[in-house]
Amino acid sequence: MISRRTVLGTGALAAATLAAPSILHAQTKTLKITTWGGKWGDIMKATVLPAFEKEFKCTVSADQAFPYVPKLQASPKNDPLYDVLHTNSNEQWNCFTEGLVMDKITPKEAPNVADVYPWAASDKIVGVAIFTSAIGLGFRTDKGLTKPTSWKDLADPKLAGARGSYIIPVNSLGQCHLMMLGKIYGKGLQDLDAAYKALEQLKPIKLVDFTGQMEKMLLSGEVSMGVIHDSGVYRYDGQNQPVDFASPSEGVMALEQVLNVTPGSKVKELAFAYVDYMLRPDTQKLLAEGVWYSPANKKVKLDAKYDEKLLTTEAKVATLIQPDWKWYNARKEDIDARVTKILKG
Amino acid sequence: MAVASRPSPIAWLLAPALLLFVLFFVLPFGVMAMMSFYSGNPVTNPNAFLTTRHYERFVFDTAGIYHDALWSTLRIGLITTIVSLLIGYPLAHWMARMQSRLGHALVLMAVIAPMLTGIVVRTFAWMTILQDKGVINTLLIDWGIVSKPLPLMYNEFGTVVALVHIYVPFMVLTLTGVIGRIDERLEQAARSLGAGRLRAFVEVTLPLSLPGILAGSLLVFALSISAYVTPSLMGGTDVLTLPMLIAQQVGTSFNPNFAGALGVVLLLVSLAIVVAYNRILARLSGEQGLA
């Protein structure tokens, strides 16, 4: 006969067994991060994040639903939605201005920061950059075009209606291109009058709001030459696509992938550990070769095919031009209105 | 006495709908409206203060783009609604009068089928058809009919085409129900009294279907003026609508307060148009208010 004590004892044991994973889970720290989707997201979810979770005995909650900054803005600063924010540099500067992210991440917090190229921790960066792409010109190789050598080649009259760039208010590559126009046709990256004049001369031009769309426009032949980052072209390497990337002689603009920690994070040590982990040479190599990003860590040794094309030496990274996003963001509303009027119609 | 003051069972049945309305419309709209009168987010920024500057920015429009964007939004909404009505009405009439159940089911499936695909996918499909290297322009150039691509995309035309494709089913489904309930014998009576097909339609069927026209038009208009993905992908540099500006303000300028003000302006202007439209149709049909 089953006694009441036996029933109660068995029930308690069963309840403890069932509750064990959630009790364990409650004791495990959770790191909340943002990260990209696509191929990058696949590598992160399949390899990088599970390895991090295993090593640091934590769980990582990764948000891939862009845009991240408005969500971070809406959360309390003392209990932010993210512990680590991964965005491009322009957005990090916005967050920094609002006190949503830290100023710098130093080797004291993440030892691998000591090994990054100067651009990755320069005064143009808040937080620390983990990768960069080079913004230059993508072009079709089957349209009889000679490989562009200058940004001015995009203004070739033959490319009327077949050149492409971005909707400047919503895309940082478009914003970089505008600043580059100021440098090429005026006194420098901040010569907006020269940039506006040059932009007017580029009409008719096809504008898109994200780089994936530019890739499709180049692949379909909808544009013959367009502003794009090297990764957006190199990722089709080996697929026999008639597209190539050119680095203009005036320099390429940097499209940095930046990590930063939120000051109100409750798991700051784990957040710094994640930043450090992302800067480890093996993590850097895996992601750099997976998505054709140039690594920030100087110690990374890429396979020859990647090493040849990506910015992996001091000489190559010297061609990178980093925009002053603090300056740009302060004028963004005026710039947005001006370029919208220029490009409309 | 106490029993009489209790809410009726029907009122309790309405409670979920009311709760849904409050939670997913009144509350978000209230927050948005409140944010539009603040300089920042008052929850996270203790220095945020009350201001009307976001509305002043829109009203005085020193940037010279906001009024244009509002006009563009309304114009696209109106054109999309009119074209959807012109395409949808005959189709709905045909469906409502169809005798064959199988035929009706097949046409209904054809009308609903596009709705089974996401808006982004349908818009990308239109891009492959209308872009410069798209199906239509490639064929026209290959056949020697035109020498350079026709401007079918990156403008209002392409935007309206894609929006009409997306919203015609809403118009058809709304109209079919209303037209189906109109007694066919009324039309037959008009014809037996000497009215031709057209006159019987114009003087009998059309006025009786005005509630459907109103409901379908309001639905399509509301969806069109709030569309974001399609104008963004199809419009190129030529189209700038208020939803696009709102998305820019939230997603890249990180200014939810101004975005809130733009949202309130869009809602108020839309409501004014809806009320005016309702009154005009009511007057035309001789009724006092159709909706």
3-state secondary structure of A77: coil
Q: Is residue A283 part of a domain?
A: yes
3-state secondary structure of A178: helix
CB within 8 Å: B236 and A206:
yes
Task: Establish whether the linkage from the previous residue to A67 is cis, with ω within 30° of 0.
Answer: yes
pLDDT of residue A270: 98
pLDDT of residue B236: 82
Q: What is the DSSP letter of A129?
A: E
> Could you tell me which of B177, B183, B60, B195 has the C-alpha nearest to residue B108?
B177
Which among A140, A262, A340 is the top mutation candidate for probing chain B, defined by the most B β-carbons within 10 Å of its own β-carbon? A340
A186 and A203 share a domain? yes
CB of B5 within 8 Å of any CB in chain A?
no
Largest CA distance in chain B: 85
B43 vs A259: which has the higher pLDDT: A259
CA angle B133, B135, B139 (to 5 degrees): 90
A126 and A137 share a domain? no
The Cα–Cα gap between B196 and B192 comes to: 9
Q: Is residue A3 part of a domain?
A: no
The Cα–Cα gap between A233 and A135 comes to: 11
Q: Classify residue A53 as exposed, middle or buried by CB count within 10 Å of its CB (0-12, 13-18, 19+).
A: middle
Its sign, for the CA torsion A219, A296, A280, A71, is: negative
A159 and A249 share a domain? yes
pLDDT of residue A13: 62
The Cα–Cα gap between A44 and A85 comes to: 15
A210 and A86 share a domain? no
CB of A219 within 8 Å of any CB in chain B?
no
CB within 8 Å: A344 and B133:
no
Whether the pLDDT of residue B287 is over 60: the answer is: no
Model confidence pLDDT, tens digit, residues B159-169:
999 999 999 99
Smallest Cα distance from B263 to chain A, Å? 16
CB within 8 Å: A207 and B236:
yes
A216 and A244 share a domain? yes
Residues of B in contact with A345 (CB under 8 A): 237-238
Element spanning A87, H or E:
strand A84-88
pLDDT of residue A5: 66
pLDDT range class, residue A21, cuts 50, 70, 90: low
Element spanning A130, H or E:
strand A128-140
CB of A205 within 8 Å of any CB in chain B?
yes
CB of B47 within 8 Å of any CB in chain A?
no
> Could you tell me which of A302, A295, A291 has the C-alpha nearest to residue A317?
A295
CB of A194 within 8 Å of any CB in chain B?
no
Q: Give the number of beta-carbon pairs within 8 Å between A and B.
A: 72
Q: Is residue A83 part of a domain?
A: yes
Which among B126, B252, B257, B258 is the top mutation candidate for probing chain A, defined by the most A β-carbons within 10 Å of its own β-carbon? B252
A222 and A333 share a domain? yes
DSSP letters, B38-49, are: BSS-TTT-TT--
Count of structural domains, chain A: 2
Which pair of tokens denotes residue B279? Answer: 């009154």
A249 and A259 share a domain? no
Whether the pLDDT of residue B35 is over 90: the answer is: yes
The Cα–Cα gap between A254 and B137 comes to: 37
Kindly provide the ipTM of the predicted complex, given to two decimals.
0.81
Q: Which domains does chain B have, with CATH numbers?
A: 26-58+65-285 (1.10.3720.10)
The Cα–Cα gap between B284 and B276 comes to: 12
Q: Is residue A219 part of a domain?
A: yes
Element spanning A43, H or E:
helix A38-43
A202 and A212 share a domain? yes
CB within 8 Å: A207 and B237:
yes
Q: How far is CA B141 from CA B136, B137, B144, in A?
A: 9, 6, 5
Helices (H), chain B: 2-5, 9-21, 27-35, 53-60, 66-97, 101-112, 119-130, 135-142, 156-180, 184-192, 197-200, 206-208, 210-225, 229-235, 242-251, 256-285
Task: Establish whether the linkage from the previous residue to A323 is cis, with ω within 30° of 0.
Answer: no
Determine the structural domain holding residue A177 and report its residue range: 133-253+325-343
Smallest Cα distance from A22 to chain B, Å? 31
Residues of A in contact with B238 (CB under 8 A): 344-345
Q: Is residue A269 part of a domain?
A: yes
Largest CA distance in chain A: 95
Whether the pLDDT of residue B288 is over 50: the answer is: no
CB of B289 within 8 Å of any CB in chain A?
no
The Cα–Cα gap between A279 and B124 comes to: 37
Q: Is residue A10 part of a domain?
A: no
Model confidence pLDDT, tens digit, residues A282-311:
999 999 999 999 999 999 999 999 999 999
Q: Is residue A158 part of a domain?
A: yes
B274 vs A301: which has the higher pLDDT: A301
Radius of gyration for chain A, computed over Cα atoms and rounded to the nearest angstrom = 23
Q: How far apart are the first and last CA of chain B?
A: 36
Mean pLDDT of all residues belonging to chain B? 91
A217 and A160 share a domain? yes
Which pair of tokens denotes residue B59? Answer: 């009203």
Element spanning A278, H or E:
helix A268-278
The Cα–Cα gap between A226 and A140 comes to: 9
A295 and A337 share a domain? no
CATH (domain of A158) = 3.40.190.10
CA angle A257, A303, A315 (to 5 degrees): 60
pLDDT of residue A66: 86
A193 and A331 share a domain? yes
A331 and A248 share a domain? yes
CB of B63 within 8 Å of any CB in chain A?
yes
CB within 8 Å: A220 and B131:
yes
Q: Let me know: does B83 contact B157? Beta carbons within 8 Å.
A: no
3-state secondary structure of A140: strand
Which pair of tokens denotes residue B254? Answer: 């990180």
Q: Is residue A160 part of a domain?
A: yes
Model confidence pLDDT, tens digit, residues B228-262:
999 999 998 889 999 999 999 999 999 999 999 99
pLDDT of residue B289: 47
